[in-house]
Amino acid sequence: MRSDIILSGVGGQGILSIAAVIGQAAISAGLHMKQSEVHGMSQRGGDVQSHLRISDKEIFSDLVPHGGADMILSVEPMESLRYLPWLSKQGWIITNSQPFVNIPNYPDAKAVIAEIEKQPKHIIVNADELAKAAGNSRGMNMVMAGAASLFIDIPQEKMEGAIEFLFGRKGPEIVKTNIAAFRAGREFAEKKRG
Amino acid sequence: MAKEKMMLMGDEAIAQGAIDAGVSGFYAYPGTPSTEIMEYAQHSKDAAALNIHRQWSANEKTAMESALGMSYCGKRAMVSMKHVGLNVAADPFVNSGVTGANGGIIVVAADDPSMHSSQDEQDSRILAKFALLPIFEPANQQEAYDMAFAGFELSEKYKTPVMLRLTTRLAHSRAGVAQKSRLSQKELKLPENKRQFVLLPGIARKQYKTLVANQAKFMEEAEKSPFNRYIDGKDKSRGIIACGLAYNYLMENYPDGCPHPVIKLCQYPVPKKMVEKLVNETKEILVLEDGQPMVEEALRGLLDRDVKVKGRITGELPRDGELNPLFVRRALGMADICGQPAPAIVAGRPPAFCVGCGHIDAYNAIKQVVTEGYGDGHVFADIGCYTLAALPPFEVVNSCVDMGASITMAKGAADAGLFPACAVIGDSTFCHSGMTGLLDCVIENANVVIFILDNSATAMTGGQDSHATGRLSEICKGLGVDEKHIRIVTPLKKNHDEMVQVIKEEIEHKGVSVIIPTRECIQTLGKKNKKGGE
Ligand SMILES: Cc1ncc(C[n+]2csc(CCOP(=O)(O)OP(=O)(O)O)c2C)c(N)n1
Ligand code: SF4
């Protein structure tokens, strides 16, 4: 089994919590994992990415090779397009539909969505709204993790176990709403994939 | 039962390795991508229980010197910094080769090829070579951990500091790391030779000869190091030397094993016998190394006659920037694999000030008085979040060179007749390297206006504490700045007119003025409030 994922978003949106959940689940499933992230300058509202690699064999490069990603998982629509050079021909784009506008020249939001829809395999989800509906207005990242989880060969219990492991410290209520958000994302992706 | 692997970033693996190898003190000044070494040590329950020193120093030089003091006492010390920090620490670093160590000392230099968060992409291996010191360069997180053990051991065996060099990619990438059993800390034991650390010429000359003589031994260590490996291959048309992380990019492109003989090179000096064997057995050598072409240049030599060497200098790899699997693929002569280009609609998203940041209010006032009043070209800035005012919408600042250079460049410009000559420096940067420059200004009563932006944090690198907090105006007074011209303002929108007035007055003052806009970084403030609420 192998899953090479590019996580993307804007500094401050918290993409690393998604990496933590999927990564932790991979570990508990006994898989190899490498995850590289960006710190420093670009965390100030710039574009950020994280490369997450999971495999049942030894992983060498910390970076996903160009054209090798099975998935671009983005918490922001325009950012999902930035990493197309990394996406493999059969790869999925899974992105939040809600733009994060912190630059004056942000493109027309509809045009961004249209570009994503040109990709043969894509899932566009209003993760902010699904999170709210799940009773967790700050659970957008967990919705995205849930949507992505459908395409990663790790059992759902392991994923939810990882959420429990990572958020347990913050109390059962936080765990519960995060898992609710995760499930909402997964269900949405299931429907879309058909 | 074997303990479960820990998921650690390269930086964290180094820190955990040092803790398990019996380190007694971490010393550092923040700097991407090295910051997480100290942060990990600070959050480590083990380190707390073991009473290991783990506080920030004022700058890399003071950190290096404190580590040397701990080594003098026979204890193990780790000092970490980003590559440009090693320039600041270069004086004690290079001289530490001559003093040698007592307790083991590892200098971690985290390089930043591609300048993700840096002013340059210098290769710290070259500085270690300059200082004649052994270098460890991990290929992965496990080696980063193991090298803390090996590094201290080698350091004590030859009584020499060693360098552990890594680059951004490994520093900030996580993987599973298996822990070894913990060694206890060393007892306090002064050097047998109580003049070992006295670099008077007579002593230094003698010790330098020892350091030079040790080079052959360091080489021997590299020849037999478990981190260096000669991996044979059938296809002798090419031999490959893959340094540190580059080994991974090589293997990524040969999932079923590399057909060519390979040297995985992770401990220096470059092991001559190993390389000789590779050169004898293969037609040409391809060198894969992140950073500057140090190994490639050494192999090629000045005359470039005998050995056919390819790499960054010959253009097989780009001359600058970080390596990645694709660049290595091209160097290996394989066809590109690449997805589609990003569509034109994707706009750049440069980093920017956080909404509500006090620097914004300070710059609004500076821009109105200085840039709009006297034209572009009067504001020397420094390194930190506030450097972002070089970009739109501000475009106010005219320099960012090295930590502390704002004050001294403004002084030089004032000396040259520029009026007004302003400096903008952060509180942490001021304590790092600004104070001495301010003293220069005071001594000559230079006509400068210095803004020290006090946000109670070292914000750019993630909001570490700042040595300046609560001390800035006292420091300025102590250095001799006239109290009447130390002006504290609160950078808020509602205080804009007041700030404008203060700046105008201080520009009119012929002499040293210090204006200190004081308001905490909203990121660190947010974190504190969150903690308080939990
Ligand atoms: C010699 C050196 N050490 C460390 C760094 C990394 N660095 C860049 S900015 C910065 C912190 C600046 O803090 P401060 O001056 O308080 O400004 P702020 O970011 O808080 O606005 C550091 C440590 C560097 N660039 N050069
Ligand atoms: S991190 Fe702090 S100092 Fe830096 S831009 Fe944000 S608020 Fe300003």
Identify residue B325 by its one-letter amino acid code: P
Chain A touched by B327 (CB under 8 Å): no
Clarify whether residues B194 and B245 are in a common domain. Answer: no
Q: Which residues of B touch A43 (CB under 8 A)?
A: 351, 462
Clarify whether residues B218 and B248 are in a common domain. Answer: no
Task: Give the confidence band of A41 by pLDDT, cuts at 50, 70, 90.
Answer: low
DSSP state letters, chain A: -EEEEEEEEETTS-HHHHHHHHHHHHHHTT-EEEEE---SGGGTTSEEEEEEEEESS----SSPPTT-EEEEEESSHHHHHHTGGGEEEEEEEEEE------STTPPPHHHHHHHHHTSSSEEEE-HHHHHHHTT-TT-HHHHHHHHHHTTSSS-HHHHHHHHHHHHGGG-HHHHHHHHHHHHHHHHHHHHHH-
**High-pLDDT (> 70) share of chain B, %:** 99
The pLDDT value recorded for residue A80 is: 98
Number of domains in chain B: 3
Give yes or no for residue A43 having a pLDDT over 80.
no
Distance from Cα B27 to the centre of ligand 1, integer Å: 16
Distance between CA atoms of A18 and A24, rounded to whole angstroms? Answer: 10
Clarify whether residues B469 and B373 are in a common domain. Answer: yes
Clarify whether residues B310 and B240 are in a common domain. Answer: yes
**High-pLDDT (> 70) share of chain A, %:** 98
Find out whether the beta carbon of B526 lies less than 6 Å from any atom of ligand 2.
no
Clarify whether residues B152 and B245 are in a common domain. Answer: no
- Confirm whether B1 is domain-assigned: no
Distance between CA atoms of B437 and B424, rounded to whole angstroms? Answer: 13
Task: Give the confidence band of B2 by pLDDT, cuts at 50, 70, 90.
Answer: low
pLDDT tens string B144-154: 999 999 999 99
pLDDT tens string B106-155: 999 999 999 999 999 999 999 999 999 999 999 999 999 999 999 999 99
Question: Looking at residue B308, what DSSP letter applies?
Answer: -
Clarify whether residues B168 and B188 are in a common domain. Answer: yes
Within 13 Å, how many C-alpha atoms sit on residue A162's CB side?
24
Distance between CA atoms of A145 and A130, rounded to whole angstroms? Answer: 12
- Could you list the residue range(s) of the whole structural domain that residue A24 is in? 2-193
The pLDDT value recorded for residue B534 is: 40
DSSP state letters, B343-395: PTTPPP----PPTT-HHHHHHHHHIIIIIHHH-SS-EE--SSGGGGGGSTTT-
| Cβ-based neighbour number of residue B75 at 10 Å | 24
Chain A touched by B36 (CB under 8 Å): yes
Distance between CA atoms of B64 and B26, rounded to whole angstroms? Answer: 10
Q: Which residues of A touch B173 (CB under 8 A)?
A: 34-37, 51, 62
Question: Which residues does a 6 A CB cutoff place in the pocket of ligand 1?
Answer: B 29-31, 60, 82, 84-85, 88, 383-386, 403, 426-429, 453, 455, 457-461, 466
Across chain B, what does the average pLDDT equal?
Answer: 96
> A44 and B35 in contact by Cβ < 8 A?
no
Ligand located closest to B520 CA: 2
Among B224, B246, B281, the domain boundary falls at B224
Clarify whether residues B405 and B464 are in a common domain. Answer: yes
Give yes or no for residue B94 having a pLDDT over 50.
yes
- Confirm whether B344 is domain-assigned: no
Nearest to A63 among B175, B247, B324 (CB): B324
Find out whether the beta carbon of B19 lies less than 6 Å from any atom of ligand 2.
no
Ligand located closest to B525 CA: 2
Q: Which of B406, B473, B411, B465 is nearest to B442 (CA)?
A: B411
Return the residue whose CA atom lies nearest to atom 4 of ligand 1: B31
Ligand 1, pocket-test mutation among B81, B108, B359, B460, most atoms within 8 A of CB: B460
The pLDDT value recorded for residue B249 is: 97
Looking up residue A46, the CATH number of its domain turns out to be 3.40.920.10
Clarify whether residues B89 and B212 are in a common domain. Answer: yes
HEC letters along B127-171: HHHHCCCCEECCCCHHHHHHHHHHHHHHHHHCCCCEEEEEEHHHH
Mean pLDDT of the A152-163 span: 96
B89 within 8 A of B81, measured Cβ to Cβ? yes
In angstroms, the Cα distances linking B337 to A8, A68, A89, B41 are: 21, 8, 10, 41
Number of domains in chain A: 1
Distance between CA atoms of B358 and B517, rounded to whole angstroms? Answer: 8
Mean pLDDT of the B495-512 span: 98
Q: Distance from first CA to last CA of chain B, Å, rounded? A: 36
Mean pLDDT of the A19-23 span: 94
Give yes or no for residue B477 having a pLDDT over 80.
yes
The pLDDT value recorded for residue B318 is: 97
Mean pLDDT of the B200-216 span: 97
Distance from Cα B353 to the centre of ligand 2, integer Å: 6
Mean pLDDT of the B15-28 span: 98
Distance from B100 to chain A by nearest Cα, in Å? 34
- Could you list the residue range(s) of the whole structural domain that residue B445 is in? 358-526
How high is the ipTM of this complex?
A: 0.92
HEC letters along B129-141: HHCCCCEECCCCH
Among B224, B257, B287, the domain boundary falls at B224
> A11 and B324 in contact by Cβ < 8 A?
no
The pLDDT value recorded for residue B377 is: 97
Clarify whether residues B213 and B283 are in a common domain. Answer: no
Beta bridge partners of A165: none
Clarify whether residues B187 and B53 are in a common domain. Answer: yes
Chain A touched by B76 (CB under 8 Å): no
The pLDDT value recorded for residue B307 is: 87
pLDDT tens string B386-410: 999 999 899 999 999 999 999 999 9
Looking up residue B51, the CATH number of its domain turns out to be 3.40.50.970
Among B273, B296, B331, the domain boundary falls at B331
* DSSP H/E element including B515: strand B512-517
Q: Distance from first CA to last CA of chain A, Å, rounded? A: 23
Give yes or no for residue A194 having a pLDDT over 80.
no
Task: Give the confidence band of A179 by pLDDT, cuts at 50, 70, 90.
Answer: very high
Ligand located closest to B402 CA: 1
Mean pLDDT of the B310-339 span: 95
**High-pLDDT (> 90) share of chain A, %:** 90
- Confirm whether B342 is domain-assigned: no
| Cβ-based neighbour number of residue A46 at 10 Å | 20
Clarify whether residues B215 and B244 are in a common domain. Answer: no
> A63 and B169 in contact by Cβ < 8 A?
yes
Find out whether the beta carbon of B455 lies less than 6 Å from any atom of ligand 2.
yes
pLDDT tens string B165-191: 999 999 999 999 999 999 999 999 999
The pLDDT value recorded for residue B532 is: 57
- Tokens matching residue B27: 């010393």
pLDDT tens string B269-294: 999 999 999 999 999 999 999 999 99
Pairing of strands B379-380, B421-426: parallel
Task: Give the confidence band of A39 by pLDDT, cuts at 50, 70, 90.
Answer: confident
* DSSP H/E element including B38: helix B35-43
Distance from B73 to chain A by nearest Cα, in Å? 35
Task: Give the confidence band of B533 by pLDDT, cuts at 50, 70, 90.
Answer: very low
Which of the pair, A175 or B306, is modelled with greater confidence?
A: A175
